[in-house]
Structure 1
Amino acid sequence: MAERGISRRSFAKAAVAIGGASALAACLDRGDTEPIPSGPDDLSTLPRRQHAWNESLPTDEHGNVRTPYHHLLLYYDYGSAETAAGGATPTADERETVENTLRSLERAYEHSNDGLLFTVGYSRRYFERYDAALPESVDLPRPDALAPFEDPERDEFDVVVHLASDRADALLEAEEALRGNRETANGEEMAAALEDVLRFRERRTGFIGEGMPAERDDVDGVPDGAVPEDAPMYMGFKSGFRANQATEERVTIGSGPFEGGTTQHVSKIRLHLEQWYEQDSRSQRVSKMFCPAHAQEDRVEGAGQNLGDASGASACPAHTTDARENGVVGHAQKNTAAREDGAPIMLRRDFDSTDDEAAGLHFLALQREIGDFVETREAMNGTDANEASGAVGVRHNNGILQYMTVLRRGNYLLPPRDKRALPRPS
C-alpha cells in the first residue's frame, strides 16, 4: 500500500476500507508515536450496557460527544450453512467461546476512543431458531421499507459486531483477531475467535470527523473538491448535537430479561451529492438540512460548529407552515416531531463510507424500541409537509430525502454485556 504524499488520516481510512493482514501490516509499518492503551485486568469495571460509550469518549467545548473516527461493521451467521439449515441452536461451549473472545478484546484495548469500543447485536432471524419467543419488553421486528419510495434489501445476518476507534491499527488488529487471523491483539493472547463458532459474511467500513470526507471525495456521488474542508460528514454539516440526541439511559430497555440492553438499527445508504453541491446554493443546503429560517437569518457558520449543543431546529417554524410559505422544509425541522416530552428518543452513531467506491452513509441508531426509529423515520418522510404544499414533493424540497437511496436495512438487539454471547430469547 503506497503511503508517500498521503496524510496519516487518509492513509488510516484507506487501510480500514481495504482491511486484511496487508492493510494492518502497512498500518503497523507506518507506526504511531503512542502505544494503544490496554484494557483493565478487572473486566467487572466495564459498563454492563454494551452501548454505554459516552463517558469513555471526548466532548467538545459545548458538551457534544465526539464519536470515534474509524468504524467497522462485521456481519456473521451462526454455525455452518448445514447446521443453520438444520435449526441447530448454540451450545454452552459455543457461548463460552464467544464470550472468551470478547473478553480477550476487552483486556487488549482500553474502553475508549484511543483503544477500542464495540457492541454485538442479534437479529430477529437469529432468535427465531429457538422455540421460545422474545419477551414483550423487546421490540425487534424484521426490517422493512419505511417509505413508499424505498425498496431496501433486508439485512438479516444473525450477528453484527460494531467496532470503533480513533486508531485504525487497533480496529484492523481487532478485526483480524476476531476472525482468527491473529493469535494476539495489542499484546494480549486471544483465547478464541468468533469464527470458531460464527460464519463471517460481510464487512462494512466508515469514518466521521472534521476534514475526513473532503479527503475522500474521489468516489462516485461526490463532486470533486465540493465537500468543505471542515465538514465532518459528506453533506457538509455537523450532526450529533447533544440536545438533539437521546441519552444512553433513554434508549436502554428498562425491564425483562434484556434489561440494560437496547435495540440498534443500521441502514446502508447511497448518497447522491451532485445536485446538493453543484446546483443547490449554500442557502438551499442550509434550508434543507436545518430549516428555511436558519438560511434566511444566516444562523449556520461553516459546518455548524457555532450552533453549540443544539441544531436550533426546535426554534424553527412548524414544518407544515414552512411547506406552505417557503415551499421547502428542513431535515432537522421535521425530526423535532419525533420526541417524547420534548426530548429525543433516538441516539445516532452514524458514519460516512466509501464502500463500493461510492459515497455512502451507514446510519446507525440506538433506541429502546425499533418503533422509536420507525417513528423518527416517519417524521423524516414529511408526508404532512407534502400534503400542505404542492411545492414540497414526496422527496423534492423535503429535507434531504432526494439525496439518498436506502440500499439495506437491519434491526438488532444489543443485549446487556452479561448476555451478549449467543443469547437465548429469554
Structure 2
Amino acid sequence: MSDPNGIDRRAFVKSAVAIGGAAALSACLNRGADVDVPRGPETPSAEFPERQHAWNAALPTTDAGNNHHPRHRVLLALDYGDGTPADDERETVEAALAGVERAYERSAAGLLLTVSYSPSYFDRFDDDLPGSVDLPEPRALSAFEDPDADDADAIVHLASDHGEVVMGAEEALKGDLDELNGVAQPDAALTDVFSVRERRTGFIGDGLPAENQDVSGVPDDGPVPEDAPLYMGFESAFKGNQPTEDRVTIRDGPFAGGTTQQLSTLTLNLTQWYEQDTREQRVSKMFCPHHAENELVEDAGENLGTDPRMDDCGEPIETARNEGVVGHSQKMVDVRENDKPIILRRDFDSTDGDRAGVHFLSLQRTISDFVTTREAMNGEEIDSDSAVGQRTNNGILQYINTVRRGNFLVPPRSLRALPPANPDADVAEVAENAEVVDA
C-alpha cells in the first residue's frame, strides 16, 4: 500500500518508528487511516497475567503454525539516578504503565510490553538479590568478542504490529500525550522518575527487512529476499525451536513468575552472505548441510512448518569434520532439554545507526542458560581444521559482531515498578519494625 506521495506505507511507518517523537507519530497518522485498536481493560492489574513475559497467549498463529511476533519494536533504555526508590515513585511508574495498558488491548495488534532491570539498578540496595535469581554482570562469552556492558538501569520493551501504537505508547509514557486511543492518560510519566538514556528500535516480519536494506552492512544491489522476516533471509522462531514460557519462568522466591532477559546488540556484515555464498551455502550455515543437500528449505523456510528438523542434521562435530561446515541451528541441538531449547527468543532486526543489526533479546530462567546456549553457538570445539582440509565454516559467527550485551531481570507484574532487590527481606524488616512499635 502506498500513500499519496508514492511512499510505501509500511516502509514509512518503520521509518517513523525509527525517528520517534510526537512529530513522527503525527506524520504517520496523517499518512493513512487511523489504526483501529480496541482499548484495554479499566483495571489492567486485575486482568493481565502476573507474568509480564507471558505473551504467547496474546499472539496469533502464522499460516505455518508458528507464533506471529509483533512487527514493530521500541526499547527505551532508562536511568534512575542515585539513591533508592520511594513509594511515591513506584506509584508514578505503575500509573504510567497502566495508562498505556488501558489505552490498548494486550495483543500483537494492540500493545505488549515488559519492564526489566539490570544488575546496576539492583546494586543500589543494601540487600542482595535472592538466590533464586541468577543475574550476573554481562561479560564477553568468547575470545573473539569484546562487547560493551549495557548498564542502563531499566529497559522498557514495547511491541505491536502497528508502528503508531508503539510510538503512541512511548510518547504517553514520556508524559507527552494527554490522551491515547481515546483514553485519558494519568498525570504520571516514566520521565518523572527516569531519564531516557537511549531509544532503540526494530522490526520483524515478512517484507520489512527488504524494505529497509538501504543501510550499511547490506550489499547495494538489494539482495534481501522480498518475503524474508529477517535480514539473513530465513525464519528463525519456529514453534518447535522455542521453549515454553513455563520453562523460562523463575519458579521460587519473591521474583517467582518473572524471568531473566538477555539483550545483545549485534551488527551484521552480509556482503559475503549474499554476494559470495550461494543459496545452498546459506542454508548449510543457517540450518545444516543435510538440509542444503536435500533441498529441505524453501524460500524463508515456511515449508518446514513448526519444526526445523534439526534431529536430521547429525552430530555437529562429525558434520564439521566431514563437510567442512556446520549449521548455526545444528549446534544448538546439544543444549536442548526435553527436545526443546532453554532460551526463548524474541529478537528482531534494526537499522539503528543506519546499519543492519539485530537486537537479540532472549528470555531464560537463568542467565546461565543463555551462557550455555551462546557457548554452543560459539562451537569452539568445532572451530578447528576439518578433515576436508579447510577451516570449518562455523555457522553464522563470521557475519555477526556483538557490540553490547546486558542482563536484566523481568520481575512479575506486581513488582515491575522499581522493585527492591529482595522483597522478602523488605517484608521481614517491616514486620520486625512493627513488633518494636507494638512493644
TM-score grouping bracket, smaller chain normalisation: over 0.9
Shift of 1:373: 0.5
Look up the match of 2:202: 206
Matches of 2:99 and 2:341 in 1, distance apart? 35
What SS class does the counterpart of residue 401 from structure 2 fall into?
Answer: strand
Matches of 1:110 and 1:392 in 2, distance apart? 54
What SS class does the counterpart of residue 227 from structure 1 fall into?
Answer: coil
Measured against aligned partners, the alpha-carbon deviations of 1:113-151 in whole angstroms (never above 9, x if no partner) come to 111100000001100100000001000011111111001
Q: Tell whether 2:422 aligns with 1:421.
A: no
**Aligned residues of 1:320 and 1:388 also touching (Cα < 8 A):** no
Measured against aligned partners, the alpha-carbon deviations of 1:204-245 in whole angstroms (never above 9, x if no partner) come to 000000111111111011113200111100000001000100
Shift of 1:311: 1.3
Look up the match of 1:410: 406
Measured against aligned partners, the alpha-carbon deviations of 1:128-187 in whole angstroms (never above 9, x if no partner) come to 100000001000011111111001100000000000001111111111111122222222
Match for residue 66 of structure 1 among 65, 68, 71: 68
Aligned pairs (5 A) from 1:18-417: 18-32=19-33, 34-43=35-44, 44-79=46-81, 84=82, 88-191=83-186, 192-223=188-219, 224-387=221-384, 389=386, 393=391, 397-417=393-413
Matches of 2:202 and 2:5 in 1, distance apart? 23
* 199-208 vs 222-231, greater mean Cα deviation: 222-231
Shift of 1:392: 6.8
Matches of 1:217 and 1:103 in 2, distance apart? 36
**Aligned residues of 2:77 and 2:197 also touching (Cα < 8 A):** yes
What SS class does the counterpart of residue 149 from structure 1 fall into?
Answer: coil
**Aligned residues of 2:263 and 2:360 also touching (Cα < 8 A):** yes
Look up the match of 1:11: 12
Shift of 1:34: 4.3
What SS class does the counterpart of residue 250 from structure 2 fall into?
Answer: coil
Shift of 1:31: 3.0
Matches of 2:101 and 2:390 in 1, distance apart? 49
* 127-136 vs 61-70, greater mean Cα deviation: 61-70
- Scaled by the length of structure 1, the TM-score of the pair is 0.95
Matches of 2:40 and 2:33 in 1, distance apart? 19
What SS class does the counterpart of residue 276 from structure 1 fall into?
Answer: helix
The amino acid of 2:30's aligned partner reads D
What SS class does the counterpart of residue 52 from structure 2 fall into?
Answer: coil
Q: What percent of counterpart residues are identical?
A: 58
Measured against aligned partners, the alpha-carbon deviations of 1:293-323 in whole angstroms (never above 9, x if no partner) come to 0001110000000011011112211010111
* 252-261 vs 333-342, greater mean Cα deviation: 333-342
Higher Rg: 2
Matches of 1:352 and 1:100 in 2, distance apart? 31
What SS class does the counterpart of residue 383 from structure 2 fall into?
Answer: helix
**Aligned residues of 2:64 and 2:303 also touching (Cα < 8 A):** no
Matches of 1:388 and 1:65 in 2, distance apart? 39
Structure 1, unmatched stretches of 5+, are none
What SS class does the counterpart of residue 337 from structure 1 fall into?
Answer: helix
- Scaled by the length of structure 2, the TM-score of the pair is 0.93
For the aligned residue pairs, the C-alpha RMSD in angstroms reads 1.3
Cα 1:131/1:392, change in 2 over 3 Å: farther
